[in-house]
Every structure is written in C-alpha cells, then in structure tokens.
Amino acid sequence: MQSYRHILLAVDFSDTDSSVIERATNLAKQYEAEISIIHVVDNLPVSEPGYDVLNSLDFELTEVLIDKTKKQLSALAEELSVPEERCHQRMGRPVSEVVALAEEEQIDLIVIGSHGRHGLGLLLGSTANGVLHHAKCDVLAVRIYD
C-alpha cells in the first residue's frame, strides 16, 4: 500500500478549513508523515492604472492581508507543531502556488477541501479542481458538506 511521507495541507482560512486540517493531521499520524502548510494570498485587488489613490489603497489592503494571514498561519503551525520552515505563505494564484510548492518540497499527498472560499454550492471549487488537474502527486479533496 502507498505510504505517504510528506503531506501538504492547503488552507484558505475559511470556515471549511477544520475538516481539511483534521483529515491531514490524522493521515500524518497514520503514515508517520511530515506536514507542511500553505496559504496563498490570492485576492489582491486590481485598481485602474493611473489612479494613484486607489493604487495606494490596494497596497495597504495587501499589506493588511499578508500580515493577518501570516499570524493565522503561525497560530495554526503552533497548534499542529509544524516547524516554521514547513509553513509557507505565498502570493499569486492558489492553484499554481500549491502545485509548485508540492513539486519543490517533494510532497507526495496534497490535502485540500472539495470547496472553500470560491466553491460554495459546487461539487468541486476552482482551486480544488485546478490542483486535481495539475498536481503530479496524489491529491485528497476532503468532501465539505454545505
């Protein structure tokens, strides 16, 4: 039977995270695997070029988001006893960043929610769908019930 050594837990800090976290930690115990955690800051606003005031508001909002999610990530890492070097906050498209990190860190299982922030009402959200299509390792999409 396939044994996993390094599991990547992807969190979007929505209400759906708890089942995903529980499944990833249970699997890590079962396989005596390491856990890494990723959160991607994705929802950056895009202002019209030329409107300096809006651009500076975008910048401030981005800084606030980065700061807030960095704290949430540290708190989760502490709760799960995951060391800092296995905690990743990235910026960009969640699908690309999750898939890229999985390859860089030789992850053999990615654990995500079937839907989170973007997929409410769908069987599979856009991030879950993209990761399932593009990841080179196994992906577990934990079924989230609405």
Q: Cβ 106 to ligand AMP, closest distance in Å?
A: 19
Q: Cβ 24 to ligand AMP, closest distance in Å?
A: 9
Q: Cβ 81 to ligand AMP, closest distance in Å?
A: 20
Closest CB to ligand AMP among residues 44, 57: 44
61 contact partners, CB below 8 Å, separation of at least 6: 44, 45
Closest CB to ligand AMP among residues 82, 98: 98
Cα separation, 97 vs 100, whole angstroms: 5
Closest CB to ligand AMP among residues 17, 108: 17
Which bin fits 62, alpha (ψ -120 to 50), beta or left (φ > 0)? alpha
Closest CB to ligand AMP among residues 51, 64: 64
Q: Minimal CA–CA distance to 32: which of 8, 9, 11, 6? A: 6
Q: Which residues pair with 139 in a beta bridge?
A: 110
Q: Which residue is nearest to ligand AMP (CB)?
A: 125
1 contact partners, CB below 8 Å, separation of at least 6: none
Q: Cβ 30 to ligand AMP, closest distance in Å?
A: 19
124 contact partners, CB below 8 Å, separation of at least 6: 114, 115, 132, 141
Closest CB to ligand AMP among residues 107, 125: 125
Q: Cβ 84 to ligand AMP, closest distance in Å?
A: 18
Residues found near ligand AMP in the complex (CB under 6 A): 10-12, 16, 20, 38-40, 42, 94, 98, 112-113, 115-119, 125-128
